């Protein structure tokens, strides 16, 4: 477990879990100790242990890929709190979500409010969750590039989500992805600028790195 943010308002802990070391994030309101968990890759016992001194409110799903949902049934059973996802990614979850989120929705956790951003491309129902200058990004945006895409159309859609929604955020916004370390909107913008200034293959998709593609 790594604490990636800690101030008087909020604490954010990152746990790399399951066979692929997928990041799950626990967000805690410092004042009320209410918490939410983002994604459920597995190793549920460890997540429950981390939540012990908090009051869990929701399980938020960034998207429906198997490495993010392997522990969902177990986690829901342990916590007995509502599961939230986007409708477009709801069908592949191992359970029916209690709440369907859409772009612009707000989720409260004590004194902390999270804004939902719908950022399709990696999957049709991919969501990011924003509070203050912290963005939990799922597999939408990583240091060095966007998440993996299945087709050129998906890639174009993902770039649109990133440039129209994420690049609208303040440059100092910290981006916490579904795998690995954090980046910032400023860094992503600088790299994307270099990428977008060059012509690229219209069939481009898959694992794309801004500076190498």
CA distance 79 to 96: 16
User: Residue 68 Cβ, how far from Zn ion at the closest point, in Å?
Assistant: 6
121 lies in the binding site for Zn ion (CB under 5 A):
no
Which residue, 179 or 186, is less far from Zn ion as judged by CB? 179
**Looking at 112-120, 137-145, 161-169, 196-204, which segment touches Zn ion (CB under 5 A)?**
137-145
**Looking at 48-56, 66-74, 89-97, 152-160, which segment touches Zn ion (CB under 5 A)?**
66-74
65 lies in the binding site for Zn ion (CB under 5 A):
yes
Which two tokens mark 165? 């929604």
Diameter of the chain by CA atoms? 52
User: DSSP readout, 148-190?
Assistant: PBSSHHHHHHHHHHHHHTGGGS-TT-EEEESSS--EEHHHHHH
User: Residue 122 Cβ, how far from Zn ion at the closest point, in Å?
Assistant: 6
Contact 116, 104 (CB under 8 A): yes
Which residue, 65 or 76, is less far from Zn ion as judged by CB? 65
CA distance 48 to 3: 16
Tokens 């707000």 label which residue? 106
**Looking at 8-16, 51-59, 71-79, 131-139, which segment touches Zn ion (CB under 5 A)?**
131-139
Contact 122, 161 (CB under 8 A): no
Tell me the number of residues near Zn ion by CB under 5 A. Answer: 4
Pairing of strands 183-184, 174-177: antiparallel
178 lies in the binding site for Zn ion (CB under 5 A):
yes
User: Residue 147 Cβ, how far from Zn ion at the closest point, in Å?
Assistant: 6
118 lies in the binding site for Zn ion (CB under 5 A):
no
Q: Which residues bind Zn ion (CB under 5 A)?
A: 65, 67, 139, 178
């Amino acid at each position: 477990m790594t604490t990636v943010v800690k101030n008087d308002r909020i604490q954010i802990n990152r746990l790399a879990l399951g066979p692929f070391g997928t990041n799950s994030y626990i967000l805690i309101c410092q004042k009320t100790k209410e918490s939410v968990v983002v994604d459920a890759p597995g190793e549920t016992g460890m997540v429950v242990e981390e939540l012990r001194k908090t009051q869990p409110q929701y399980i938020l799903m960034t998207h429906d890929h198997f490495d993010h949902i392997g522990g969902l049934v177990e986690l829901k059973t342990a916590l007995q709190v509502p599961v939230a996802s986007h409708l477009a990614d709801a069908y592949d979850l191992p359970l029916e979500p209690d709440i369907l989120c859409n772009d612009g929705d707000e989720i409260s956790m004590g004194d902390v409010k999270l804004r939902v951003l719908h950022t399709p491309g990696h999957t049709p129902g991919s969501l990011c969750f924003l509070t203050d200058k912290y963005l939990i990004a799922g597999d939408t945006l990583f240091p060095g590039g966007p998440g993996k895409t299945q087709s050129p159309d998906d890639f174009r859609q993902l770039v649109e989500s990133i440039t129209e929604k994420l690049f609208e955020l303040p440059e100092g916004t910290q981006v916490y992805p579904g795998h690995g370390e954090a980046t910032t909107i400023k860094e992503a913008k600088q790299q994307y600028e270099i990428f977008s200034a060059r012509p690229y293959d219209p069939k481009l998709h898959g694992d794309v790195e801004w500076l190498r593609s």
